[in-house]
Amino acid sequence: QRYCQDVYRGQLASVHSAARNQELQKLARTYTTRAPWIGAVTSCRAGQWESRWEDSSPWNYANWAPIHPIRTVTTCTTLSTRDGLWRSRFCLQLRPFICQY
């Protein structure tokens, strides 16, 4: 997220529809086979696990893979280039990312 902000003056992508999810999946597939970061973070706040967008936009769509999001530690989210599903990952992994402006 910080790299996206500092270098590109943007935010990690938030996804608010199936059409946008598919569009980003196709875009990512043209550049990499690795699942890129998107801007969803899952964390525990006031004893409740919640997912939120880094850009503070409303949480109105989700496309989680089965058993995700993982609710044991704070996690970031990848978008699979293969199936378009979202998966929780440890936030410190180096991965491609989708930055929006």
Model confidence pLDDT, tens digit, residues 4-16: 999 999 999 999 9
Q: Domain count of the chain?
A: 1
The pLDDT assigned to 48 comes to 93
Task: CATH number of the domain at 1, please.
Answer: 3.10.100.10
Give the domain extent around 83: 1-100
Tokens encoding 62? 């989700």
Percent of the chain's residues with pLDDT above 90? 94
* pLDDT beyond 90 at 2: no
Count of residues making up the chain: 101
Preceding amide of 58 cis, omega within 30: no
